[in-house]
Amino acid sequence: MRVVAKKILREFWEKHRDSEESLRTWYKEASNAKWTNPSDIIAAYTKASILKSSRVVFNVCGNKYRLIVEINYLRQWVFIRFIGTHDDYDKTNAEKI
């Protein structure tokens, strides 16, 4: 998969240092993945949430943070749409962001 907008992750882990290792690991795994449908993601990330509009929510850092991505399975692209705390996530419409 081609992960678009790594800068968003980098900016986040610079502010939240405890997230850096988890986000770097997720980025590396996602970049090497060949996801063709939501089932492929759930096989690797059992706690990920599959939403409408090709969105997926990943729990980061022991569920301290949430990462929302939009996936184009055909083109093998992952677009980072949001990374934040649970409070930030609760204020966000994950299917529209």
pLDDT tens-digit profile of 8-67?
999 999 999 999 999 999 999 999 999 999 999 999 999 999 999 899 999 999 889 999
Residue 95 pLDDT: 84
Residue 13 pLDDT: 96
Higher pLDDT, 72 or 96: 72
Q: Is the dihedral of CA 48, 11, 29, 70 positive or negative?
A: positive
Q: Report which secondary-structure segment, H or E, holds 68.
A: strand 65-72
pLDDT confidence of 97, banded at 50, 70, 90? confident
CA distances from 29 to 26, 35, 38, 96 (A): 5, 11, 15, 25
Residue 85 clears pLDDT 90, i.e. is over it? yes
